[in-house]
Amino acid sequence: MTQSFLTEEPQREEPTTPASPASKPVKLGRKRDHTRDPAILEAALAVLAETGYDGMTIDMVAARAKAGKATLYRRWPSKAELVLDAVACLKKADTDPARLPDTGTLRGDLTAMIKPHTIEDGERKLQIMAGLMSMLNSTPELVDTATAAIVDPRVAVNRIFLRRAVDRGEIPSDCDLETLALVSPSMAAFRVLVLKKTVDRDFLLSLIDGVILPAVGLGVGPTRRLTEDGSTDTR
């Protein structure tokens, strides 16, 4: 089970034709309304982000989705599977190189990703990740699922920007691109998950100008430098 819309058995090929001589278990009665799946999964993610996996109850999710508890259990066999499916169905950030910013400089590309919407989306996903933490040990496959949905896309974007910079000769080709692409996702996650601070523009700029760009040999331009002791927070 990976995608919620595929949790049911594959559609009967011709549900309208009854003319089957042999064993053809045609479904009778009201059909399951799969148009509600996204709302339920969305509710699960919201509760997950707010209360964490252990604090989350099925009743909370059902109430938030305005659905009955039994409906949830008709579609997912357990709380764990529901959460797993919700994470798997999380819409990934766009990593299509064609739709990514391409400003001609590494710094331009990296800072172009600092947009309110992007920051909000990232924060929300990290809150979801925080809610998943207690589940990661008991559900090993969740590590891959969550990584694929939340971490990998961010890393992929950074990798693209770095590779472009190498290709255009802006930075040397012997940089450790893989490790560098992990820097900001790791440090942003750490900041949200452990430090419980927000990931704001200043923090992201301090990563770009204080770590990434210097590490590829691009000293920071005329401006920049974060005031001692980190950026604004608010926890």
Positions touching a copy of itself (CB under 8 A) are 51-55, 129-130, 133-134, 136-138, 140, 143, 146-147, 151, 172, 174-176, 178-180, 182-183, 185-187, 189-191, 193-196, 206-207, 209-212, 214-217, 219, 225-226, 228-230, 233-235
Q: Does 134 bind DNA (CB under 7 A)?
A: no
Q: Does 15 bind DNA (CB under 7 A)?
A: yes
Using CB under 7 A, pick the residue from 68, 97, 214, 221 that binds DNA. Answer: 68
Q: Burial of 138 by CB count in 10 Å (0-12 exposed, 13-18 middle, 19+ buried)? A: exposed
Which CB sits closer to DNA, 39 or 136? 39
Q: Running DSSP on this structure, what letter comes out for residue 17? A: -
In the block, which residue shows the tokens 């819309």? 5
Contacted by 234, from a copy of itself, DNA, none: CB < 5 to 8 Å by type: a copy of itself
Q: Does 135 bind DNA (CB under 7 A)?
A: no
3 state DSSP class of 127: helix
Contacted by 211, from a copy of itself, DNA, none: CB < 5 to 8 Å by type: a copy of itself
**Distance (Å, rounded) from C-alpha 235 to C-alpha 192?**
8
Contacted by 229, from a copy of itself, DNA, none: CB < 5 to 8 Å by type: a copy of itself
Which CB sits closer to a copy of itself, 23 or 234? 234
Q: Does 36 bind DNA (CB under 7 A)?
A: yes
Which CB sits closer to DNA, 79 or 163? 79
**Distance (Å, rounded) from C-alpha 40 to C-alpha 47?**
11
Using CB under 7 A, pick the residue from 27, 196, 224, 225 that binds DNA. Answer: 27
Query: What is the chain's length?
Result: 235
Cβ–Cβ under 8 Å, residues 188 and 121:
no
Contacted by 3, from DNA, a copy of itself, none: CB < 5 to 8 Å by type: none
Which CB sits closer to DNA, 134 or 173? 134
Which CB sits closer to a copy of itself, 112 or 187? 187
Structure tokens at 157: 């974007």
Cβ–Cβ under 8 Å, residues 52 and 131:
yes
Rounded to the nearest angstrom, the gap between the alpha carbon of residue 25 and the centroid of all alpha carbons in its chain is: 39
Helix H segments across the chain?
Answer: 37-55, 58-64, 69-75, 79-88, 106-112, 116-136, 141-146, 152-167, 177-193, 201-207, 213-215
Estimate the crossing angle of helix 116-136 against helix 37-55, to 10 degrees: 60
What residue ranges bind DNA (CB under 7 A)?
15-16, 18, 26-33, 36, 55-59, 62, 66-71, 73-75, 78-80
